Structure 1
Amino acid sequence: MQYKRLGNTGLQVSQLALGCMTFGVPERGTHPWTLNEDDSRPIIRRAVELGINFFDTANMYSDGTSEEIVGRALKEFTRREDTVIATKVYYPMGKGPNRGGLSRKAIMTEVDASLRRLGTDYIDLYLIHRWDYDTPIEETLEALHDVVKAGKVRYLGASSMHAWQFAKALYLADRHGWTRFSTMQNHLNLLYREEEREMLPLCVAEGVGVIPWSPLARGRLTRDWDEASKRSDTDDYMRKLYAATEDADRRVAEAVKAVAEARGIPRAQVAMAWVAQKAGVTAPIVGASKLSHLEDAVASLEVHLTADEIARLEAPYVPHAVAGFV
């Protein structure tokens, strides 16, 4: 495993992050396809063995149980000082007012709740999960700065917003002397490339590390188009992201299959390699429900696509409507 600086920070992270949405109590939250704790632990252990030191979860994943499972496993399998834990805040964690969003009240409440569930006294990377249209961004940025200064958080990140919103947040942080966002976690894969238009160039110009989510398009790029999985059958968000462009996306998936067959490697390695080679990308976030998923992801780091292969993979793409955050 090789390690890279996360954006302009001094923090070193593995070239892959393990996405921990897969881990959680299936009966809790909105992800019935998740793995329970007994099934999650071997995957987390193997990630550590493979040199992955970057683990990405969120307070709302499986109603907080993802944080609990990940926190307990990492405490057993590795040392805290060797681990980079990322979690997020925004989505409601219960019914009633002030249970979600990015107000000062919500941030101060949820950062402490995440620390308790993770079983740690600090979070390495704390991300806003989405843009909050109901809270002034200045309030959010100052509250985030305060949790950094309090020692509860080391670095700040953002996820899935318009480029103009991210630019505004960076500008305001600099103007007020607040801690600026070091990372952008955005939706990027061969089926959804709209981030190449503005967000990726902005991140490169600002020295922001890019840690894309769903690099395999929730598995759509790893198997035959009509082949189903437990997750595809129950993941309503997947249908929201990709259902409108199935004809065009199918041609992209066929290109991935062709390149993979020519190389004699799994499709997942080709799709992941494409994301990892994008300018500005630090570490794609890979979800794994089987050990083989994790092995493929790590093996993809040794796949260096040629210019001709990249052109073949990208040729079928057509512009998509913005998806993933609005």
Structure 2
Amino acid sequence: MPPIHITGINTPISPFALGTAFYRMDDSAACFELLDAYVAAGGTVIDSARSYGQSEDVLGAWFAVRPDARDQVLLITKCGHGPEWKLPERNFAAGVQKELATSLDILKTDVIDLYILHRDNQEMPVSTILEALQPAIDSGQVRALGASNWEYRRVIEANGYAEQHGLTGFAVVSNTLSLAQPAAAFYTGLVQADPIGERWHQETGISLLPWSSQARGFFAGIVTPEMRDDPSIAMPEQPTFTSRMLKVYGTDNNFARLERAKTLGEQKGGYTAIEVALAWLLHKPFPVIPVVGPRTVDELVSCRRASELSLAEDEIRWLEEGQCRTLIL
């Protein structure tokens, strides 16, 4: 795994980021337990967003009772998740300032290490977007910027504009990537790290912060091929999480990858398919910081096991393509 450095940030970066999208204040004790265990195990990257319900509230409460923790972690939060699944164009600069002020207050901190735009709006010039973000950098309230769910041509355009005009460009891209290849977007406006994007990350050394890095539990077996044949599950009147999972991940190719991940995990000494899938991502030839969302300490331990699993090139190729491996299974 290539060493990871994010321009503007000096915090050491752990192999994976802790996602907090589901955190709630009425479950804060369990959330605190996860946060404590993550930091105790050497975790340093915590991912949140203004649009993640009470995620920032829980983190702010945790920082209040763990004051030393703030300086130990790289804190990520996001803004710009508009009601139409894109950056809100109207009063954009003022909106960014308002969201940032709210996040700083709730998180009980005076600086966000990595501030990420949660969506793009391709009707807005990149110049307008970057110039609205620059005051947060200049004031010291934000150390680095990132883009989530941006097509790579737009990221390239934005970073080119930033370089030409003395502005701060995007130091991180947060698009989805996992061993399971999505056949569609889970929700409107979500963007995958495609092969063009992967090459760009390798050429530039800019880190990918992939969300849904374990395919929303696909490799834990939460959907099966048989479910595709039951219309009440696969095609209900109103979409459900399961029906979305089947639409996005329920392809023959992905179920074959799941079976190969199970087989390889057993051969490697008792790793689970979901651990193999995370290890696959950590072996990408560019800087990658997968966002994981464990709901228990045991699941957190599983993520750590995955970060310690070494995969050979032929094993990676076999996971992806099912081609011959030099090792006998």
What is the TM-score when the length of structure 2 is the normalising length?
0.82
State the distance in 2 between where 1:172 and 1:239 align.
41
For residues 104 and 242 of structure 2, the distance between their equivalents in structure 1, rounded to whole angstroms, comes to 29
CA distance in 2, matches of 1:3, 1:296: 22
Cα distance change on mapping 1:241 and 1:159 into 2, 3 Å: farther
Check whether the contact 1:102–1:140 (CA below 8 A) recurs between aligned residues: no
Task: Determine whether 1:122 maps to 2:122.
Answer: no
- Structure 2 Cα separation of the partners of residues 221 and 278 of structure 1: 18
* Partner SS, residue 213 of structure 2: coil
Could you tell me how far 1:222 is from its partner in structure 2? 2.2
Aligned mates of 1:295, 1:183 — CA distance in 2: 26
SS at match of 1:188: coil
Q: Counterpart in 1 of 2:78?
A: 88
Aligned partner of residue 143 in structure 2, secondary structure: strand
Q: How far apart are 1:99 and its partner, in Å?
A: 7.0
| Match in the other structure for 1:260 | 265
The answer as to whether partners of 1:24 and 1:69 remain within 8 angstroms in 2 is yes
Structure 1 44/129 Cα, relative in aligned 2: closer, same or farther at 3 Å? same
Q: Mean Cα displacement is larger for which, 70-79 or 147-156? A: 70-79
Q: Superposed, which structure 2 residues align to 1:20-59 within 5 Å?
A: 20-24=20-24, 36-59=27-50
CA distance 1:241–1:183, shift in 2 (3 Å): farther
| Bigger shift: residues 200-209 or 161-170 | 200-209
**Is this contact kept in 2: 1:102–1:132, CA < 8 A?**
no
The Cα shift of 1:224 comes to: 5.9
1:287: which partner in 2? 293
Structure 1: runs of 5+ lacking an equivalent? 26-34, 318-326
Q: Percent identity?
A: 25
Question: How far 1:242 moved relative to its partner?
Answer: 5.3
> Partner residue of 1:216?
214
Q: Flag the 1:290–1:123 CA change in 2: closer, same or farther, 3 A.
A: same
User: Does the residue aligned with 1:14 lie in a helix, a strand or coil?
Assistant: coil
| Matches of 1:49 and 1:148, distance apart in 2 | 30
Q: 1: CA distance between counterparts of 2:272 and 2:292?
A: 15
Q: Quote the residue 1:72 is aligned against.
A: 61
Task: Tell me, in whole angstroms, the C-alpha distance in 2 between the residues paired with 1:84 and 1:218.
Answer: 24
Give the Cα separation in 2 of the matches to 1:212 and 1:254: 23
Q: Does 1:108 align with 2:71?
A: no
1:61 is matched with which residue? 52
- Residue of structure 2 in register with 1:28 after alignment: none
The separation in 2 between residues aligned to 1:101 and 1:184, in whole angstroms, is: 24
Measured at CA, do residues 21 and 39 of structure 1 come closer, stay the same or move farther in structure 2, by a change above 3 Å? Answer: same
In structure 2, do the counterparts of structure 1 residues 81 and 187 end up closer, same or farther at CA, with 3 Å as the change threshold? same
Of the three residues 167, 174, 179, the one matched with 1:185 is 174
Q: CA deviation at 1:236?
A: 4.9
- Structure 1: how far apart are the matches of 2:250 and 2:91? 34
Paired with 2:260 and 2:2, the residues of 1 have a C-alpha distance of 30
1:301 CA displacement: 1.4
2:326 alignment counterpart: none
> For residues 235 and 209 of structure 1, do their structure 2 counterparts lie closer, same or farther at Cα, with a shift above 3 Å needed?
farther
Q: 1:251 maps to what in 2?
A: 256
Q: Closer, same or farther in 2 for the Cα pair 1:83/1:219, shift >3 Å?
A: same
Cα shift at 1:203: 2.1
For the aligned residue pairs, the C-alpha RMSD in angstroms reads 3.0
What is the DSSP-based 3-state SS (H/G/I as helix, E as strand, rest coil) of the residue aligned with 2:193? Answer: helix
Kept in 2, the 8 Å contact 1:90–1:101? The answer is no
Q: Does 189-198 or 270-279 show the bigger shift?
A: 189-198
Residues 197-237 of structure 1, C-alpha deviation per residue, up to 9 Å, x if partnerless?
11121122223111111111001012364399xxxx99956
Q: Is the 8 A contact 1:8 1:209 kept in 2?
A: no
Amino acid at match of 1:47: Y
What is the match of residue 230 of structure 2? none
For 1:126 and 1:192, locate their aligned partners in 2 and report how far apart those are by CA, in whole Å. 27
Deviations along 1:261-282, whole A, 9 cap, x unmatched?
2221122221110001112133
